[in-house]
Amino acid sequence: MSRPKWINWALAAGAGALALTLLLPTSNRPEPKPSALPDSAHEEHTNKQRLKVQDIKATDLLTRMDAKQHLSIMLEKTATMNAAQVSRYVNDLQSSHEHIRSIHLMNTNGSFNKPFDHASTQGSKLEQQKLQHALNLAKKAANKRQSFESSSFPLGKEKYFVMGQPSKDGKRAVIALFSQNVLNSVEQHQRKNLRMIPYPREGKFKIESVHPDTLNEITVKTGHDNANASHFYENEIVIRFRQDPGERDMRIIKSDLRAQSARKLGYTYVFRSEHMSYKQLHSYFESKWNPLYMEPHYMYLTNDTATEQTDVTIPNDILFSDYQWNLPAIETNRGWNITKGNKDVIVAVVDTGVDMNHPDLKGKLLEGYNVVEPGSQPMDDVGHGTHVAGIIGAIVNNNEGVAGMSWYNKVLPVKVLDNSGSGTTYAVAEGIIWAADHGAKVINMSLGNYADAQFLHDAIKYAFDRDIVLIAATGNDNTERPGYPAAYPEVFAVSATDPDMSKASYSNYGDYVDVMAPGSSIASTYPNNQYAALSGTSMASPHVAALAGLIRSLNPDLTNTEVMDLMRQSVIDLGDPGHDKYFGYGQIDVYKALQAASGNSAPLQFWPQHVRQQMDNTMKKYTQ
């Protein structure tokens, strides 16, 4: 006797629920520390100051280990070279590594070859004496076949250190002077990245600070005030008309505004007036043109702060074991046993650009695009984008620097932020659309603002509708206020954890947060062939972008929503069980996520929507 249909449906639903339950994260996880509530302005500044000092110290260690490697390789490569070949080798090295200021090759009998000085060093008489003293100590150590490393010392406006390294046979040695200007760069970068200072009025336009909800002007006196501030160009406005204006209409508008030109992206225009403020522009367009929406031209800033056993891949990158705590913490090494990525799955970095010549990114970067200066390479003049790109795709197992999360995925640099680390809504939107039109399967956006800009949201929707996974950092003000683009429903929002899997003290939080990822003192690539440790949700976001790239490499049939759902469900659950506003669903687990994504078909929990997607694709083939 056959069962009623409703019984069959009930049994199927029960089986589906059971299968889904088995795929959800288990609760036998380490208990995280309690979530940090909003700090006072003084506490927040103190915490960020401590973190900035920690990043500078970590960067100091990275530069020293990298320097030691360069000296060892130099001794090995120059062992059989003649004088002319040595000169060419050293000149090439110094031209691509500006921080190596002078190199002294010597025999252990005490005789120096002529030093190779890349740039003159300036300093007081006392500072020059300290330099000479350090060189003498290094020479004495070399004669004893010992290595040497000085403490940092000032020389003019920069800090330096001296390092000496003997060859393996003890017959030769090299002594070099290294600039640590990167420490100043990290210090300045993190003051902005962690919002320790009010955003300065940089660039060629006046920048106003407003409350993102009311647009009432506010005074930003401290970094703490940034949590309730959004910045925009006071004499510009973003307009989307109900119907595109014709040539006559545009002439009228330009005449009224005294504007020479207007910028258009998609359906949206940006107008700049020579004599009208934003309020006046808003009143003008509202009364005369009745647009679909009007909003300020916002600025976006960097958001830089299991029982089964498998073999764990330990790459030979020299900074990995000692400094890259972040990759083992999210089970990246175990995940590499499932996939190491695919060159056809492109991850776009919409940011400050990338150092296109960095040796640890060689072969991993596509040509990219420069929105700030079209026609120029998307070169990084800040450091932020290079650091983000290295987290995703620094070359693995090349015995140099750091290891990225993906061995093979290509990185597409899109420069939308200028040398102040900021960019306009127009630039960010253009960068997103350009990346969507040029093959990106994943877009990382380690930038944000507290204002909900419909202009930017249109660009986000454009990319999302093209099946792209959009990842964004939440921000570094330890506030619950939603930051954009992270808080848009089409975007996967990422906050930051510390090494002990607690919420990083600076990290924003809220109901819109999807997951957490490591964000504190993350070692990665930095401009001019260097390495640095930076903190911020900007550093957390590319971990998730890289994971999305790995998932799409392993299972290209998954849609963007399926990839995002899979990452939410394949986590280390932190805080309250399930989703909570401090940890989202939890910290990403690369191995678990790739396990769930493995196979030739969609994971079981995505079967209904996956089948619908496959049917839609089939229908399109026969209806086009």
- Residues marked active site are found at 351, 384, 538
Q: Number of C-alpha atoms within 13 angstroms, CB side, residue 388?
A: 39
What is the spatial distance between Cα 76 and Cα 398, in angstroms, rounded to a whole number?
A: 16
**Residue 18 in tokens:** 């059971």
SS3 (DSSP) at 230: strand
- Give whole-number Cα distances, 15 to 5, 24, 130, 271, 401, in Å: 16, 15, 75, 57, 49
Nearest to 113 by CA among 152, 87, 88: 87
CA distances from 502 to 307, 574, 583 (A): 23, 8, 9
List residues bridging with 424 in a β-sheet. Answer: 299
Q: Are 383 and 185 in contact (CB under 8 A)?
A: yes
CA nearest 51: which of 446, 507, 520, 384? Answer: 520
Q: What interhelical angle do 41-78 and 83-96 show, nearest 10?
A: 160
What are the residues whose beta carbons fall under 8 Å from the beta carbon of 60, sequence distance 6 or more? 152, 180, 183
CA quadruple 186, 191, 193, 195: dihedral, nearest 10: 170
Backbone angles phi, psi at 440, to 5 degrees: -65, 135
Q: Is residue 218 left, alpha or beta, with left meaning phi > 0 and alpha meaning psi from -120 to 50?
A: beta
* Residues 68 and 165 sit within 8 Å (Cβ to Cβ): yes
Supply 47's token pair: 């915490």
Asked if the bond preceding 577 is cis, omega within 30° of 0, the reply is: no
**Cβ-Cβ contacts under 8 Å for 263 (sequence gap 6 or more):** 269, 270, 426
Task: With beta carbons less than 8 A apart as the criterion, state whether 352 and 380 touch.
Answer: yes
Query: How far, in Å, CA of 283 to CA of 12, rounded?
Result: 59
The 10 Å Cβ neighbour count of residue 183 is: 19
Token pair listed for 283: 């009143």
Provide the CB-side half-sphere exposure for 614 (13 A, CA): 11
> Is the Cα torsion angle 212, 216, 217, 223 positive or negative in sign?
negative
